[in-house]
């Protein structure tokens, strides 16, 4: 061992004096450190008090108690004191063990000739080039500590999410069960999660702080903010003086704000959360209100009653509360003001920064699915508009520091002033509908003359009536007039046609205000298309996620059934990855961004949406790309929704695409979330290789793409799978991890495949992955007389 270290030192200089920088010729070994220029932080090797394992970490230099704020190799500890931390070309910071094997590395992807690593006085460890451009920084990959200057949130351009994850225990820095996120879904709020399960929510940002964290207010120690725009959403804070402060997530899931007390020479907890039972996410269910001042901490909001009185009496509040009088949007609803509350979960919400509270009320009143509204920003007396859709979850009484929220109620539940306002609105609405009716008659008469034989009626009227009923019952989608769609598509001109699917043709359209849209028109005689139309409208209208294609509205007039989507200028994923010239436009960072985006979209479908959706037809042509190459999952015509605790189902009608269907679905009609995971795994391997699974050919064997990838994996030659057109932009460790994850997803047995939350975590973190087992459809193909016969190989 000493001989190996001596040889190593011949070509590298050990840092002989205190410095804040490592280069390709200067490294540190165990027992040595580097110190930031201002002396605030130190980087080196350490052990916890009850372990001999060694880790590379960063800690405060000027504090007597060693307080580690970041750990590099938290999952793969060194087993002795022979570790070496160095910088290597083309721009990586690596940690080697006693056998000189790399056990941890930064994930810098840009190759440079003279990389350096520097410990900044903020506690940020950066790898940069000679011009000072950051290639990687530890602030993007924190462990359990949130330091001043960090951005906790998501970058929509790169797809990177920065969040903190607790240690497994106070003696083991490996990632534990708890994570802390700034969640941008709907409107920004912070979450503590245990795995994928929400544990605590701060409430939405209100301009002064988070509505559910009254202890976090303006103070002389630090200032904080939430920034949200088209490019990024993040929460950050900065110090106002010389006081040292940090935020940590403990191994048991408690977020704690600490300050250093110079008099006592100890850390003092400034605030912590969750700190009482009412901080448990959704404890009282929908429309329930939690109040620690009551003996029964859960109660129903005024005008609401327990949904299940028997369970409620037994202190099981999970089913929440329901309105005593149901809403009747068509005949007029109103709003009641509720004061002093932590605002409900904003997962299903929308907002406007410029709308007044009165405008906010009108918008909510005119949208039947809108259940509540409030001011967005209370920092200057109240401005902006925050709207909720669906049930209101996780409300808590906050005496003296809560906010006002206006909740939709039936008109009979309002006071006299409220009833008078609803009456005026109802009369106005009735008059408007009357005028609209007259206008519609005139439009229909004109249209009958202009388009007397637009299409033949080939679909039974009772089925069409059913679609109308479903639309009224389940949706609040914008309705487009047929005349507008005809104008936008130039009367469904063949020159506007984008493609043809099982649903029907798809056209590009331009609305009068200039917005480009994609128009899907139900095929005239397609009964399958009608089923897909109903499924897609009911399903996707309730889904909102940046990695799902957005449904803008629909048109249901007579025999015409049309869906209007956001237009995707870069078409679909298969348009790029399977084309020899266009595939070069997708370098490795873009492909990884697409893979991670697809995974996040599937995670939303499987876990975070109000419905548990199984897509059943994930494939490259159903992944659309926007102008910034962000992936959007599309085509929900064959999707199925699960309710309650359902996890799988069986069908006699197998729909999907050959090459992407899982073995249990293709052979037995059994589908589950693991069916989508299989399809995702195929997609990953296709994106990495640039080859289609179904037509893959390799000289030397007749395996499909999955079998070829698995053979390379077994031989340790995985990188031979990668598309040669991205060789100049790849990062080998990221590629190896992505191939490994793809193979885990396509394993033969569904129970061996990871769920999508695990997939998202594995793709974004340097973790030890389980060994992949044989993939499904591990086939040997024999081509005879231009016909292909398939023989399944028995599992060995």
ω into 90 cis (within 30 of 0): yes
The pair of structure tokens assigned to 102 is 């790399």
Q: Could you give phi then psi for residue 299, rounded to 5 degrees?
A: -145, 165
CA angle at 247 for the pair 246 and 250, rounded to the nearest 5°: 130
Give Cα 267 distance to the centre of its chain.
35
Quote helix, strand, coil % in the chain, to nearest 5: 25, 30, 45
C-alpha to C-alpha distance for 226 and 351, rounded to whole angstroms:
15
Q: Could you give phi then psi for residue 508, rounded to 5 degrees?
A: -85, 135
Of 648, 475, 490, give the one whose Cα is nearest residue 563.
475
Of 452, 481, 653, 640, give the one whose Cα is nearest residue 564.
481
617 flagged as catalytic: yes
125 touches 69 (CB < 8 A): no
Give Cα 224 distance to the centre of its chain.
24
C-alpha to C-alpha distance for 647 and 672, rounded to whole angstroms:
6
Of 196, 151, 201, give the one whose Cα is nearest residue 178.
196
Of 305, 271, 275, 309, give the one whose Cα is nearest residue 288.
305
31 touches 45 (CB < 8 A): yes
Catalytic residue among 144, 291, 333, 617: 617
Exposed e or buried b per residue across 589-601, where buried means at least 16 C-beta atoms within 10 angstroms of its C-beta: bbbbbbbbbbbbb
The pair of structure tokens assigned to 471 is 């639309």
Of 570, 565, 569, 482, give the one whose Cα is nearest residue 518.
565
CB-count burial class (<10 Å; 0-12, 13-18, 19+) for 200: buried
The residues annotated with a catalytic role in the active site are 617
């Amino acid at each position: 061992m000493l001989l190996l270290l001596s040889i190593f030192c011949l070509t590298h200089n050990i840092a002989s004096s205190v410095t804040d920088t490592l280069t390709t010729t200067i490294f540190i070994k165990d027992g040595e450190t580097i110190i930031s220029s201002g002396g605030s932080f130190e980087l080196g090797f350490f052990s916890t008090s009850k372990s001999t394992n060694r880790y590379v970490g960063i800690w405060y230099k000027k504090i007597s108690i060693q307080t580690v704020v970041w750990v590099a190799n938290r999952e793969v500890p060194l087993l002795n004191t022979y570790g070496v931390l160095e910088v290597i070309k083309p721009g990586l910071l690596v940690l080697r063990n006693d056998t000189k094997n790399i056990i941890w590395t930064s994930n810098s992807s840009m190759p440079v000739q003279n990389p350096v690593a520097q410990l900044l006085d903020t506690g940020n460890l950066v790898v940069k080039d000679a011009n000072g451009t950051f290639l990687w920084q530890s602030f993007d990959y924190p462990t359990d500590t949130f330091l001043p200057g960090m951005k906790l949130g998501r970058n929509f351009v790169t797809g990177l999410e920065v969040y903190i994850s607790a240690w497994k225990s106070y003696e083991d820095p490996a990632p534990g069960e708890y994570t802390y996120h700034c969640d941008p879904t709907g409107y920004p709020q912070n979450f503590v999660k245990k795995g994928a399960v929400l544990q605590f929510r701060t409430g939405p940002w209100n301009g002064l702080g988070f509505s559910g964290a009254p202890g976090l207010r303006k103070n002389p120690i630090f200032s904080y903010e939430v920034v949200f725009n088209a490019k990024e959403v993040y929460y950050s804070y900065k110090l106002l003086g010389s006081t040292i402060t940090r935020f940590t997530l403990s191994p048991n899931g408690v977020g704690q704000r600490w300050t250093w007390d110079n008099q006592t020479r100890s850390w003092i907890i400034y605030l912590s959360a969750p700190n009482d039972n009412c901080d448990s996410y959704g404890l009282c269910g929908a429309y329930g209100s939690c109040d620690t001042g009551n003996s029964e901490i859960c109660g129903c909001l005024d005008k609401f009653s327990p949904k299940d009185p028997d369970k409620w009496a037994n202190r099981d509040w999970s089913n929440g509360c329901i309105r005593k009088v149901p809403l009747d949007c068509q005949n007029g609803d109103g709003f009641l003001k509720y004061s002093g509350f932590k605002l409900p979960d904003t997962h299903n919400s929308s907002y406007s920064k410029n709308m007044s509270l009165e405008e906010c009320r009108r918008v909510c009143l005119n949208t039947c699915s809108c259940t509540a509204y409030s001011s967005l920003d209370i920092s200057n007396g109240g401005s902006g508009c925050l709207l909720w859709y669906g049930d209101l979850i996780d409300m808590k009484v906050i005496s003296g520091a809560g906010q006002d929220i206006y909740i939709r109620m039936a008109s009979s539940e309002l006071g006299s002033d409220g009833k008078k306002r609803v009456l005026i609105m109802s009369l106005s609405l009735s008059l408007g509908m009357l005028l609209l009716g007259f206008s519609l008659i005139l439009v229909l008469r004109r249209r009958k003359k202009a388009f007397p034989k637009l299409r033949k009626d080939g679909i039974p009227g009772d089925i069409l009536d059913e679609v109308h009923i479903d639309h009224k019952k389940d949706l609040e989608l914008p309705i487009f007039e047929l005349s507008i769609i005809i104008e936008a598509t130039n009367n469904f001109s063949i020159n506007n046609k984008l493609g043809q699917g099982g649903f029907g043709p798809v056209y590009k359209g331009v609305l009068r205000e200039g917005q480009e849209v994609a128009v899907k028109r139900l095929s005239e005689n397609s009964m399958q298309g009608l089923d897909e139309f109903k499924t897609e409208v009911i399903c996707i209208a309730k889904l909102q996620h940046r990695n799902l294609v957005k449904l803008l509205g629909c048109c249901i007039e007579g025999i015409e059934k049309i869906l209007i989507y956001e237009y995707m200028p870069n078409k679909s994923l298969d348009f790029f990855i399977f084309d020899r010239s266009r595939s070069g436009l997708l370098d490795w960072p873009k492909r990884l961004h697409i893979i991670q985006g697809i995974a996040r979209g599937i995670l939303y479908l499987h876990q975070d949406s109000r419905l548990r959706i199984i897509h059943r037809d994930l494939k490259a042509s159903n992944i659309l790309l926007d102008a910034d190459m962000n992936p959007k999952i599309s085509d929900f015509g064959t999707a199925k929704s699960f309710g309650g605790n359902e996890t799988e189902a069986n069908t006699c009608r197998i729909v999907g695409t050959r090459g992407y269907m899982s073995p249990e679905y293709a052979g037995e009609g059994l589908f589950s979330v693991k069916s989508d995971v299989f399809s995702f795994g195929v997609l990953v391997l296709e994106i990495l290789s640039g080859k289609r699974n179904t037509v893959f050919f390799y000289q030397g064997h007749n395996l499909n793409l999955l079998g070829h990838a698995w053979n390379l994996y077994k031989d340790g030659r995985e990188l031979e799978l990668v598309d040669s057109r991205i060789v100049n932009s790849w990062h080998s460790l990221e590629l190896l991890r992505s191939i490994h994850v793809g193979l885990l997803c396509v394993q033969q047995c569904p129970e061996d495949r990871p769920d999508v939350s695990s997939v998202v975590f594995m793709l974004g973190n340097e973790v030890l992955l389980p060994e992949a087992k044989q993939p499904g459809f591990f086939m040997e193909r024999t081509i005879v007389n231009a016909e292909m016969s398939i023989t399944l190989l028995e599992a060995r």
